[in-house]
Amino acid sequence: MARRDIPRSPDSGGSSRAPKKPSAFRRWIRRIFVWGGGLALLAAIGAAVAVFVTARSLPSYEKLKSSQAGQMIVVRANDGSEIVTLGPSYGRWIPYDRIPRVMRDAMVSVEDRRYREHWGVDPLGIARSLMVRVESGRWRQGGSTITQQLARNIFLNNSRTFDRKLREAVLALALEQKFSKDQILELYLNKVYFGGGAYGVDSAARKFFGHSGERLSLAEASIIAGLVKAPSHYSPTADADAAVGRAKVVLDVMQRNGTITPADAAAVDFKDVKLAGEEGQNSARYFTDWVLPQLDLILPDNDQPIEVWTTLDPVMQHAATSAIQGYAPKGAQGAMVSVDRDGAVLAMVGGTDYVTSNYNRATNAVRQPGSAWKLFVYLAALEAGYTPDSRVVDAPVTIDGWSPRNSGGTYAGEIDVRTAFAYSKNTVAAQLGNEVGFGAVANMARRFGITTPINTLPSMVLGTSDVRVIDMVRAFASVQNKGASVTPYGIRKITTTDGEVLYSHRPDASQQLVPTYVAAGITDLLQTAVSIGTGRAAQIGRPVAGKTGTTSSNKDGWFLGFSSGITTGVWMGRDDAHAVPGLQGGTAPARAFAAYMKVATAKRPAEKFDTELKLPQWQLEPDDEALLNNSDNYFYVDENGNLVDQGGQAPQGGAPGGGPAGGAPGIGSNTPAGAPRERQPTYRDGSGADGNSPAAANDDFLDRAIGRGRNDANGQTPPRPRPTGGTRVTVGGGQGNP
């Protein structure tokens, strides 16, 4: 019997040791592999499920062929003719076996050379892209396959988010599961965007080369294949050198991939490639560039194909283009806007050539209007009480240190307002602006639609504030509309391609900007400026009213006017604002105006202007005419309609004299009854122009006349306004009132 108390030797065969426990590091490695493998398996299962579900939900091949990205817009003129078609153009669908082999090989070589080897996502392509990213420090090479690009073009957008890339990969795998490689490549080549609104090889071939996509040569195919990377940069119509340079890269890749031989590549001569002429790139595009952004406000949520029926008149647009191109001085640009009496834009030219410069100077450029700005100066003066027959003095004048000069350097002395406007006398405009207030002139310009900043320095009366052509045309159109506001518009209606009306223009509620007699007075002045003044070159054999404008050093020339219900404005000058020798508003701009308006008004009856001054009651009333017999006293009408003299008593006996309350111009005792009142200058001693008029009424009388002495609704006495004596004015060497 063996004894259990005898110890065993360490090397006895029956001895055993306890197994060593794995280290913590090995345990973590094992866990990572286990959990990682499990997560990878779950991810693979999830991806497979996602791909399977996505593949089952994909549209049929026929539906994918008929789907289109983007919105087609057909823009029509007022006669229904097509101006331009914008948006995507898909051309004719070309089946796979009829797409030229050189086109298929070029696209696969440059976009996805392992296209036939992957399942929709190329791991090697992704790895190669990552390596380039690490080496260069930025993304220089994409890892997307043709299938991924197709999925993005049809179902997704171009955002660079991880979520979008993940969905793109799932869709690409699903497409590969549902369709064949040939079908996917056919879809891609008929749907990929090549720039200029062209989707698909047929549309691109017709746009750039003028023929079907089934007839593409190797050179043309390499150019089209090179566009996918950056359509706008490599467009052959925008930059032919860049397009050829990119096409050579495509040929080199094709040669390295073995799809063409070195001899094939060497035989390509890009000089033999004939580009198609650009269509629709004419001056009407200035108009469509102005109109089409308005669709975002009119139909913000619409994405279906539409037809936009505009106000543009093709005949007038052609005449406007010819006038600007024919009369703009060499090296200068020109712009024109013409509107109908309701504001419908009949013609718009934003430059001499849209292809070389698509900047719209009719709606976007701001330039000084020169003397055309005097429209607002004289409107303010007429509203303040002047008439075309009022006497003014054309003499040297200094206002706050500023001394304007007439263009000819001469002065006419005492003349009437009509003559001063016709010959664009700067000194008279300065005096009128100072008298009515430069703020009043600015307010008048705002009233008539000037949207740009306006300064109120004395020199503003000569047009030193920048304006837009379309805003000035709007102002003159409102004058033609007898002082009622006019708003330019370019869209009459919008319909679907089936004829359903989605939008119809409704005229804006017109507002009376100035009284009709003021509009009649300024029309009188404008007509005189064309008949005998600076705008004589704008005559067209029927009544025309208008105004010239020329800025310092002949940098800008303007003519704006109207006739037979059409208002047109012309500007000419250089984009860099350099001087244009000989440019004046009465020369090239006025001649361009006349050339256009002869065509525009040809089918309209001639219209005489309403220039009869029907003065308002506050300026000419029968009761006031009866008060002219006695000019020794001043009277006003109290709240009960009774006449009250300066002493507070109703007049006894004869009728009182003087002017009506409310700030009407003073009238001398010799003014005949029923005659229009002229605004007479008043001197510091209180006498009138003839030196015999009575002195001005005292402050107490004026306080009672306008109710300043009475308490207001809050029991407070309204303050007396301070005299406007801050502006120092010198006329003809003497001191005058501001």
- Cα dihedral across residues 210, 213, 214, 220: positive or negative: positive
C-alpha span between 603 and 609 (Å, rounded): 18
* Residue where the block lists tokens 């704008």: 538
Nearest-Å Rg of the Cα atoms of the chain is 40
Active-site residue, 278 included = no
Give the single-character DSSP code of 576: T
Amino acid at 492: R
Q: What is the dihedral of CA 226, 230, 234, 239, to 10 degrees?
A: 180
The secondary structure element, H or E, covering residue 188 is helix 181-191
C-alpha span between 225 and 615 (Å, rounded): 74
CA distances from 209 to 188, 220, 229, 235 (A): 20, 8, 19, 12
Angle at 152 between CA 146 and CA 154, to 5 degrees: 100
C-alpha span between 126 and 120 (Å, rounded): 12
Q: Which residues contact 52 (CB under 8 A, 6 or more apart)?
A: 174, 177
C-alpha span between 463 and 591 (Å, rounded): 22
C-alpha span between 389 and 381 (Å, rounded): 12
Strands 73-76 and 306-310: parallel
User: Do residues 676 and 389 make contact, with C-beta atoms less than 8 angstroms apart?
Assistant: yes
DSSP for 146-187?
A: HHHHHHHHHH------HHHHHHHHHHHHHHHHHS-HHHHHHH
DSSP for 39-85?
A: HHHHHHHHHHHHHHHHHHHSPPHHHHHH---S--EEEE-TTS-EEEE
Angle at 620 between CA 616 and CA 626, to 5 degrees: 150
User: Annotated catalytic residue: which of 89, 109, 203, 371?
Assistant: 371
- Cα dihedral across residues 649, 653, 655, 658: positive or negative: negative
Active-site residue, 371 included = yes
Range list of H helices, 448-515: 469-480
C-alpha span between 620 and 600 (Å, rounded): 40
- Cα dihedral across residues 133, 137, 140, 146: positive or negative: positive
Amino acid at 609: F
C-alpha span between 426 and 406 (Å, rounded): 5
C-alpha span between 528 and 561 (Å, rounded): 12
User: Annotated catalytic residue: which of 89, 109, 111, 465?
Assistant: 111
Amino acid at 307: E
List the one residue out of 565, 570, 561, 567 whose CA is nearest residue 539. Answer: 561
Two structure tokens written together for 262: 């070195």
Angle between helices 374-384 and 438-447 (to 10 degrees): 110
Q: Looking at the DSSP assignment, which residues form a beta bridge with residue 397?
A: 731
What own/partner pairs with CB < 8 Å and gap ≥ 24 does 697-706 have? 697/634, 697/646, 697/658, 698/646, 700/646, 701/634, 701/636, 701/646, 704/636, 704/638, 704/644, 704/648, 705/636, 705/661, 706/661
**Which phi and psi angles does 41 have, rounded to 5°?**
-65, -45
Q: What residues act catalytically?
A: 111, 371
